[in-house]
């Protein structure tokens, strides 16, 4: 993986690495990618892409209400809240 691609993953993941960490993780990343790359050696001409391995289809539930857990329970892990809402740092300036 090139530097640019690694930087992009860092950005998309909302992570910030030091130069040292970056070297370590980039190496690990490349190892993982090379490992998976081996799959590319297999000839897959004419084979449909695999979407799932379970061979299960059409799992439904009926349109019936099940009690929600309530505002208190919903918010109990929130680091900050206001009224009945979660509160997060401002996303629009």
Partner 1 sequence: MEFEATIGLEVHCQLGTNTKLFCGCTTLFAQEPNSQTCPVCLGHPGTLPVLNKKVFEYAVKAGLAIGCDIQKFSKFDRKNYYYPDLPKAYQITQFDKPFALKGGIEINIKGNKRVVKLERIQIEEDAGKLIHTADGSLVDLNRAGTPLIEIVSDPDMSTSEEAYQYLVNLKKILKYNEVSDCEMQEGSLRCDANISVKPIGQKELGTKVEVKNLNSFRYVQAAIDYEIVRQIQDIQNGNKISQETRLWDVDNGVTEPMRSKEGAHDYRFFPEPDLPPLILTDKEIEKIKSTVAEPPLKRKERFISELKLSEYDASILTEEKPIADYFENALKEFNKPKEIANWISNDISSYLNEKKIGIDQFPVSIENMTSLWKLIDDGTINKKIAKEKVFPLLVESNKNPSEIIESEGLAGKNDSDEIRKWVEEAMAKNQKAVDDLKNGKDKAKGSIVGMVMKASKGLANPQIVNKIIDDIINS
Q: How many CB atoms lie within 10 A of CB 13?
A: 9
Quote the CA–CA distance of 10 and 1 in Å, as a whole number.
13
Cβ proximity to partner 1, 14 vs 20, nearer residue: 14
User: Residues 75-79: contacts with CB within 8 Å, 24+ apart?
Assistant: none
Quote the CA–CA distance of 80 and 90 in Å, as a whole number.
13
Cβ proximity to partner 1, 23 vs 76, nearer residue: 76
- Least Å distance between CB 14 and partner 1? 6
- Least Å distance between CB 34 and partner 1? 20
- Least Å distance between CB 89 and partner 1? 6
Chain positions contacting partner 1, by CB under 8 A: 8, 11-12, 14, 51-52, 54, 56-71, 74-75, 80, 82-93
Q: What residues pair up with 82 in beta bridges, in sequence order? A: 85
């Amino acid at each position: 993986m090139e530097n640019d691609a690694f930087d992009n993953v860092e950005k998309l993941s909302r992570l910030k690495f030091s130069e040292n960490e970056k070297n370590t993780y980039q190496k690990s990343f490349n190892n993982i990618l090379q490992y998976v790359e081996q799959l590319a050696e297999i000839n897959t001409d004419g084979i449909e892409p695999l979407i799932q391995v379970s061979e299960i289809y059409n799992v439904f539930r009926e349109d019936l209400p099940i009690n929600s857990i309530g505002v208190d329970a919903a918010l109990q892990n929130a680091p900050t809240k206001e009224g009945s809402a979660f509160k997060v740092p401002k996303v629009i300036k």
